[in-house]
Each structure stands twice: as C-alpha cells, then as structure tokens.
Amino acid sequence: MERNIKVSIIEDDDTIRNGYTFLIGNSEGYEVVSAYCSYDSAAHTIAADKPDVILLDIEMPGINGIDAIPRLKKLLPNAFILILTVYESEKLIFEALGNGASGYLTKNTPSAKIIESIKEVRDGGGPMSINIAKMVIKSFQKNQESPLSKRETQILEQISDGKSRSQIARELFIDLETVRSHIKNIYIKLDVNSRADAIKAARQNRFI
Amino acid sequence: MERNIKVSIIEDDDTIRNGYTFLIGNSEGYEVVSAYCSYDSAAHTIAADKPDVILLDIEMPGINGIDAIPRLKKLLPNAFILILTVYESEKLIFEALGNGASGYLTKNTPSAKIIESIKEVRDGGGPMSINIAKMVIKSFQKNQESPLSKRETQILEQISDGKSRSQIARELFIDLETVRSHIKNIYIKLDVNSRADAIKAARQNRFI
DNA sequence: AATAAAATCCCCCTATCGGGGGGATAATCT
DNA sequence: AGATTATCCCCCCGATAGGGGGATTTTATT
C-alpha cells in the first residue's frame, strides 16, 4: 500500500480548522500531520512535520496567506500549497498562483472535491474551483472587439517585448517607415502617445 | 424542465465524432444538433444550428481548430467553445484560450467528465483537464530562484511595461543614474545587452 | 464595381534615450 | 567581517522615439 498523504492545515477559524482536520484525518490514505491557526505559529515547526500538501487560508492574523506562500515554499520546497479561501478576487488568485500556490479552492467546495484536490496537487495537478478556473481562463482571452488590425496587434506585441522599431522592421521584413506608420495609427486608435501608455491601454483592454 | 443543452461537434475522425455524438445524444438533458468533419464544412450551416456549446478538435483538414475559434465566435457570439484534443502543448493551449475557447480537455478524458464539462462551459465555467490546469497554473508561477533582487525585478517589470529610465526613476523616487545602475546589473545577471533580450530572458525563466 | 480599411513606404525635425565605459558610498543581510 | 544590494556620479555617442507632413497599393466588404 502507498503511504498516506501528509497534510498540514493553516487556518485561523477554529471551527473550520477542526472540521478540515476531522474530514481529512478520517479519509482513507490521508493524514493530518499538523494544524495551525496562523503562519507565525506554524513557521518554527512546520518544516519538521514534513507535509506533502499544505492547506492554506488567506485571511489570517499576522502574515497573510499570500505572503506566507513564498516563505512556506522556502521552508518546504517540495510541499504543494493548496489555497482554501472565501475570496474570489482576481488579484488574490493571481498573486497566490504567482507566489507558488498549486491550486485554489473556494470554501463552498464540497468535501469530496477537497479530498480529491489534495491528491491532485500532490500528483502535480492544479485543481481549481469552477469560478476560479473561469477567471483564470478569462485572463487568457483576448478582447475580440479590438480596434487594432492584425498587423497593428502584432507590432504592439513586439513593442511590449521591448523591441525597437528597427528590430521589428527587420523581423517582419518591412520598412522601418512602415513600422512607424503602424505605431502612429496604434497611438491614434488607443489615444496615447507613448509606448508605455500603449502597452498599458492594450493590456487593460486585453487587445494583446 | 429545462431545455436541452444543444451541442455541435467539429471533429475530423469519423469514429471519434460518431462516438461523441452517441455519448452526448444519449445523455439526459443534452442534444447533438450537428456534427461536422471540418470547420469548412461547418461554416455555412452551423449558425443555423444554434448550438450552446461547440466541441472542437484542433488537428483538422483545412482551417485548423485554433484558427476556427475566432470565426466560430463571430458566427455564434453566444456559443461556448470547448476544445477536445490530444495535444497538450503549451503554445496550443494558450492560443486556444487566447482565441476565446472556454475550456480545454484532452481526449483521454472520461465520458462522464466530458458530459459534465459541457454543462460547465454552458454555465460560464472553465473546465480543464488536470494536465492542462497544471500548465495553466504553472504559467502564473514565478521562478522562486531568480538571480534578480527585488528592486531589480521591480525595475525589469517596469521595463517590460515599456517605461523609459527617467519614467521609472520618477515613479520609484530614485535618481536616473540609480535606475541605470540597476539595469546594468540586470543585464549582467541575465547575460544580455538590450531591453528586448532582458525581457525575453526574464519571461522565459519566469523571473517576471 | 465602388468604397473603405489596411498595409506599405517616403520626407522633414529634435530632444531623449539606451547602452558602453569608468567609478563611489551607505545600508542590509548573512 | 564580507557579500550583496541600493543608491548616486561622470564620460561618450549613435540610435531611437515621437511629432509633423504626405503617397501608393493591396485587401476586404459592400
């Protein structure tokens, strides 16, 4: 038989923490090695617990969950972090994932899905609640109603890669003046007058 | 009772297409309104089928699935597109999602999950296979072992926003020469000698 | 066939920028 | 104590960006 998946829980609400501990502890193949009410109280001992997966809340006294992620990663480079929170804000989700969280579940997630997700992160997967997946996918989707033409979009993308006019001209096999002309039109359409502003406007509206 | 979810299938392999048609057609609450073997053959009539969800393959004769997405979106702005393919390449996934696909499943997905995912996209969700979710999440995660210091990372991020040295200096309330100095160090650490190359190297290694 | 939109190229101008070189100093962290 | 980081200073110069003013051709769309 395979060894149990070792889970640590960091969650400030006593009721919820105990609930998860009970739920996971009673699931076949799972084992709760520790449960803390904050990152601060976990910091000194969690490395010794050697969890495979850490269930992490975001709203917490002291160091919040988002900032705890990189610290936990440093203490336990091989542990996977699964965020379990009520927050569905885009900013928090992307910060959490950017900091190294491997999954993001909201607290209305059914017990069975939580148990399944713990296994999934341990196996290198990336479980997400439906709403989270939706936001994540949305973040990839370009705006279909861009005022920019294909060529303009392409050139603006190169500009956002830090390329100069002449570099772009060379790569697209067009004249430097043509690039200039396109950039002028991009600026007019986006109502800006600098690269930085064009990139900002285009990213905000997901034209690139 | 709610009305059936109308599904269109675009898939070139006869066996697979017929298999999906049978599977979905026999599921309670689902209805296959049409099944095509290519985008080209679907183009003229699919709008009249008024599907809620389009199951789309990527490898196909004629216009491929990736390029078909924006066209389908134009024909059926309210339909959701669910990619069902064997490909797990990062490039294809991000292109598909960027073009407007709402979900991405690989062909080893169990039948029940496919049926469930169709409902999920129809409801605005973003279903993904485990491996896909993993890649998507990975794409958000920064490299924890960046050689760049916090300040350097911050400045490189501003550079990737297209900002000039003086602009960065102003925004960070530091001297222009300090910014210059940081950029020099960034270039040394990344072994590059231009903004474009620095951005490229940093993005490739997910330092920013 | 006609109109519009997109893509291509050409000239003027000048202040700013970017990258290469050479340093120094104080603050932090380890 | 030593290393890293963040800050600031000087030199140089060619390339760049953005502001004007245009024109022509190709490609869609009607």
What is the DSSP code string of A9-76? EE-S-HHHHHHHHHHHHTSTTEEEEEEESSHHHHHTTHHHH--SEEEE-SS-SSS-HHHHHHHHHHH-
Instruction: Report the pLDDT averaged over residues B130-148.
Output: 89
Residue of A nearest to B163 (CA): A196
Which residues does strand D reach (CB under 7 angstroms)? A 164-167, 180-181, 183-184, 187, 193-196; B 149-152, 172, 174-175, 177-178, 180-182
Coil, helix or strand at residue A127: coil
Q: Enumerate residues 6+ apart whose C-beta is below 8 A from A92.
A: A58, A66, A85
* Interatomic CA distance for residues A88 and A73, integer angstroms: 23
Q: Do the chains contact at A126 and B138, CB–CB below 8 Å?
A: yes
Tell me if B144 and A100 make a contact (CB, 8 A cut-off). Answer: yes
The reported pLDDT for the residue numbered A1 is 64
Q: Are A121 and A84 in contact (CB under 8 A)?
A: no
CA distance A186 to A157: 11
Chain B residues whose beta carbon lies within 8 Å of the beta carbon of residue A130: 120, 123, 125-127
* B:142-201 Cβ neighbours of strand C under 7 Å: 164-167, 180-181, 183-184, 187, 193-196
Q: Distance from A189 to chain B by nearest Cα, in Å?
A: 18
| Per-residue model confidence (pLDDT) at position A44 | 85
End-to-end distance of chain B based on CA atoms, in angstroms?
Answer: 50
Q: Which residues, including other chains, have CB under 8 Å from residue A146's CB and lie 6 or more apart?
A: A153, A205, A207
Find, among A135, A41, A25, the residue nearest to A33 by Cα. Answer: A25
pLDDT tens-digit readout, B151-189: 999 999 999 999 999 999 999 999 999 999 999 999 999
A66 CA: distance to closest CA in chain B (Å): 13
Least confident of A90-94, A143-147, B8-12, B84-88: A143-147
pLDDT per residue as tens digits for the range B118-129: 999 999 889 999
pLDDT, averaged across chain B: 92
Instruction: Write b or e for each residue in B96-108: b if 16 or more Cβ atoms lie within 10 A of its Cβ, otherwise e.
Output: bbbbbbbbbbbee
Nearest CB to B125 within list A126, A134, A142: A134
Q: Is A162 left (phi over 0), alpha (psi -120 to 50) or beta?
A: left
Distance CA A207, CA A192 (A): 14
Distance of residue A128 Cα from the nearest chain B Cα, in angstroms? 8
Write down how long chain B is: 208
In terms of Cβ atoms closer than 10 Å to its own Cβ (0-12, 13-18, 19+), residue B41 is middle
pLDDT in tens, B39-60: 888 888 898 999 999 999 998 8
Here the tokens at position A157 are 């993308």
| Chain D positions with a protein C-beta closer than 7 Å | 4-10, 15-23
Tokens 């989707």 identify what position? Answer: A141
- CA angle (B188, B194, B197) in 5-degree steps: 90
Which residues lie below 8 Å from residue B103, measured CB to CB, with a gap of 6+?
A: A137, B80, B81, B82, B83, B117, B120, B121, B125, B126, B127, B128
Amino acid at residue number A89:
S
Sheet containing B53-56, strands listed edge to edge, beginning at the edge strand earlier in sequence? B30-36, B5-10, B53-56, B80-85, B103-106
List CB contacts (< 8 A) between B94 and chain A. Answer: 140
The whole-number average pLDDT for the span B77-81 is: 91
Contacts of B198 in chain A (CB under 8 A): 162
Nearest to A126 among B133, B159, B160 (CB): B133
Minimal-distance CA residue of chain A relative to B165 = A196
Strands (DSSP E) along chain B, which ranges? 5-10, 30-36, 53-56, 80-85, 103-106
Taking 50 as the pLDDT cut, the residues of chain A under it are none
Residue A75: per-residue pLDDT: 87
The answer to whether the Cβ–Cβ distance between A142 and B94 falls below 8 Å is no
Distance (Å) from the alpha carbon of B121 to chain A's nearest alpha carbon: 9
CA quadruple B22, B23, B29, B30: dihedral sign: negative
Residue ranges and CATH numbers for the domains of chain B are: 5-140 (3.40.50.2300), 150-204 (1.10.10.10)
Which residues from B are below 8 Å from A74, CB to CB? 144
- At B165 the three-state DSSP class reads helix
Residues 6+ apart with CB under 8 A from A190: A147, A148, A197, A198, A201, A202, A207
- Residues B81, B15: Cα–Cα separation, whole Å: 21
Which residue approaches D20 most closely, CA to C1'?
A184
